[in-house]
């Protein structure tokens, strides 16, 4: 059985340039990962907020508020929120950019995008939002289109993370900021066994109980362990062209916020 705390294999990070990549702890042909990830998120789309509550015991709401509250963004800015899901980040950003700003909510998965759009519509939040189904590895925007690009709990599911980071850099304006909120590597040794037990024993059972989908929740737990840890992701952002790269751990490194600028 795979060690749930195993480090990512650097040879599998390039995705599009190698024959296989990881899907959780499984090695799969690179071309199949996008379809497999799509099946997971189509399955959990209607229970996505519940999923996040189960994975983080509700703390994800605090992480997201801190993530948005510390973004470099002002009224009138144009923002791209990648892997926008059910719109949590976009909704929080809306107050920051004001009536003169705009937010593009992008997601590769149509079911997730529809869930976010319907949620905003039901809340009466219509003005200032645009919804685009897109692949983070090939963004359909000209160079220098956005003041801020965010991606929350989505980068670990991208097949070619390096390509996605390069695209985030490309579509930013000079001086613009990129922000990545993602599950990362827990730093407190005493907490790791507890975290592993919750991830691999509790979470799939909760997924089965509340969403009748243990396998998708198992994948999501595995995908966290395969995601590049803090310093490695910082180096990847630097290699993609970002300057002034840094990160901040939250909750002992359960998640980290990475920041980079187009200089």
Phi, psi at 107, each rounded to 5°: -155, 145
Would you say 86 is a known binding-site residue? Answer: yes
CA atoms within 13 A on the CB side of 184: 24
What's the CA gap between 92 and 192, in Å, rounded? Answer: 31
List Cβ neighbours of 45 (8 Å cut-off, separation of 6 or more). 86, 109, 111, 112, 114, 115
Would you say 239 is a known binding-site residue? Answer: no
Phi, psi at 151, each rounded to 5°: -150, 120
What's the CA gap between 24 and 224, in Å, rounded? Answer: 8
Q: Report yes or no: 117 and 135 within 8 Å, Cβ to Cβ.
A: no
How many contiguous H segments (helices) and E segments (strands) does the chain have?
10, 9
**108-134 CB burial, b ≥16 within 10 A, e <16:** bbebbbebbbebbeeeeeeebbebeeb
Going by the annotation, the residues of the binding site are 86, 107, 135-136
Going by the annotation, the residues of the binding site for S-adenosyl-L-methionine are 86, 107, 135-136
């Amino acid at each position: 059985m795979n060690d749930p705390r195993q480090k990512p294999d650097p040879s599998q990070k390039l995705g599009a340039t190698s024959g296989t990549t990881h899907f959780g702890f499984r090695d799969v042909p690179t071309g199949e990962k996008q379809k497999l990830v799509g099946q997971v998120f189509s399955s959990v789309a209607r229970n996505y907020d519940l999923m996040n509550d189960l994975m983080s015991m509700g703390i994800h709401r605090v992480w997201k508020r801190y993530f948005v509250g510390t973004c470099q963004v002002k009224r009138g800015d144009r923002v791209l929120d990648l892997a926008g899901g059910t719109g949590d980040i976009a909704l929080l950003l809306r107050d920051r950019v004001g009536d003169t700003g705009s937010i593009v909510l992008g997601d590769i998965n149509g079911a997730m995008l529809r869930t976010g759009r319907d949620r905003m519509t039901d809340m009466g939040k219509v003005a200032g939002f645009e919804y685009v189904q897109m692949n983070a590895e090939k963004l359909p925007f000209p160079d220098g289109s956005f003041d801020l690009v965010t991606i929350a709990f989505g980068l670990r599911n991208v097949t070619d993370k390096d390509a996605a980071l390069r695209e985030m850099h490309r579509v930013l304006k000079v001086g613009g900021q990129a922000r990545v909120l993602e599950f990362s590597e827990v730093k407190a040794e005493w907490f790791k066994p507890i975290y592993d037990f919750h991830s691999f024993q509790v979470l799939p059972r909760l997924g089965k109980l509340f969403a009748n989908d243990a396998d998708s929740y198992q994948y999501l737990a595995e995908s966290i362990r395969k995601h590049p840890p803090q310093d490695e992701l910082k180096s990847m952002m630097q290699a993609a062209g970002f300057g002034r790269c840094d990160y901040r751990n939250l909750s002992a490194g359960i998640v980290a916020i990475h920041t980079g600028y187009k200089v």
